[in-house]
Amino acid sequence: MASVVFYFQVHQPRRLRRYSIFDSEPNYFDDWRNEQILRKVADKCYRPATRLIRDLIHEHEGRFRVSYSLTGTVIEQLRQWAPDVLDLFGELAETGCVEFIAETYYHSLAFLYNRQEFIDQTKQHCELMQELFGQQPRVFRNTELTYNNDVAHVVEQMGFDAILTEGADHILGYRSPNFIYRPPNSEQLRMLLKNYRLSDDIAFRFSNRGWPEWPLSAERFAGWVDQINGNGYVCDLFMDYETFGEHQWADTGIFDFIRALPGYVMAGGKNDFITVSEAIDRYPVVGEVDVPHMISWADTERDISAWLGNSMQSNALHDLYALTDGVVGTEDGILIDDWRKLQTSDHFYYMCTKWFADGDVHKYFNPYESPYDAYINYMNILDNVRARIAAAGARAAT
């Protein structure tokens, strides 16, 4: 038997407004644009895709099962501008066929800079999952599947049972991502590894007319899943939720593909769908995977260079986390929340200079004209955060 483990990442950052050095207002976010984008993505992806998943669960009488994580930043925006989408997710939770995964509330890179901040944000996210969906997450995924042995260690200590990451070739070597592994020196924690070939067939290649497999049918894809039968336990298909209708538009046939897929996968009764927790409960650990260096699911490098690959990114991140004590010390809830929203990894992704000149996927998702503009804007905002800390200090002193 091969079990398909679908995991969808739902995220939108709070994009920043143009913030010049001559600005001094403490409002940093471009909520006009954030609302536009959120409404558009809700129309094209969140509503139709979530309804489709709900219908498929009912149609297949609970045998179609998926897992999600929704960041705190997208949930806040959905509450503001598309609350009905949260109701749809609530319906999914009620089916009992959908599992919600924990991550850092602000989709941050806090793990790299401040362990306590990382733990606080993860707890904040777990509380939100409990509040919205009545689930206490058992499984964790770090922002953009960034991962190494240290992340695993901290996450295990926090009590999670499993962690998701990328099934990168350079960590697996000859081994297959279609099994359950554990990190070195770990008692309990299990690793689920993304099958990037099959995941990317859907997420990236689905509409590519230059791809020999185009157009991909659900039947053919189900055949590839079936080939795992006998060579593995799971088929971990991890992808951005926005794949459905936003990255791959509806006219590519992506919704029809998903609608047809469960039927083909489960035909013959050999294969099924399970959630992440069901995967670790059902299948044994087959070995240990050692990941001393940071990996992620981004780009071909599968490393963290998309967020921390140049001097501007490291400078901005360093300066941001250098403010931790100052910000937290003010006990100003609004300032702390603003500062945490500035931690969202997207802000650093926009500063990436890799292939900037070629105009690729980085550019498509970038609200700035250049990575330099992103950096300048961000640093101007940090100046204002510093000014607010100083002002709070001055008030406290008087």
Please identify, among the stretches 69-77, 138-146, 283-291, 312-320, the one whose residues bind another protein according to the rule CB under 8 A. 312-320
Choosing from 180, 237, 376, 389, the residue that interacts with another protein (CB under 8 A) is 376
25 is a site residue for another protein (CB under 8 A): no
What would the x/- binding string for another protein be over residues 180 to 219, using CB under 8 A? ----------------------------------------
CB 352 → another protein: shortest distance, Å? 11
Pick 135 or 353: Cβ nearer another protein: 353
CB 6 → another protein: shortest distance, Å? 38
Choosing from 124, 229, 305, 380, the residue that interacts with another protein (CB under 8 A) is 380
Q: In what order do the strands lie in the sheet with 190-194?
A: 139-141, 162-166, 190-194, 180-182, 285-288
312 is a site residue for another protein (CB under 8 A): yes
Omega before residue 48 within 30° of 0, cis: no
Choosing from 95, 208, 305, 310, the residue that interacts with another protein (CB under 8 A) is 310
74 is a site residue for another protein (CB under 8 A): no
305 is a site residue for another protein (CB under 8 A): no
Q: Which of 349, 289, 335, 315 is nearest to 147 (CA)?
A: 289
**Dihedral of the CA atoms 281, 284, 289, 291 (nearest 10)?**
10
The angle formed by the CA atoms of residues 335, 339 and 345, to the nearest 5 degrees, is 160
135 is a site residue for another protein (CB under 8 A): no
Pick 149 or 310: Cβ nearer another protein: 310
22 is a site residue for another protein (CB under 8 A): yes
Residues near another protein (CB under 8 A), total:
20
The active-site residue, picked from 99, 103, 117, 144, is 144
Active-site residue 369, yes or no?
A: no
CB 112 → another protein: shortest distance, Å? 17
Q: Binding to another protein (CB under 8 A): which residues in 355-374?
A: 356-357, 369-373
Residues of this chain that bind another protein (CB under 8 A): 20-22, 310-312, 314-315, 353, 356-357, 369-373, 375-376, 379-380
Catalytic site positions: 144
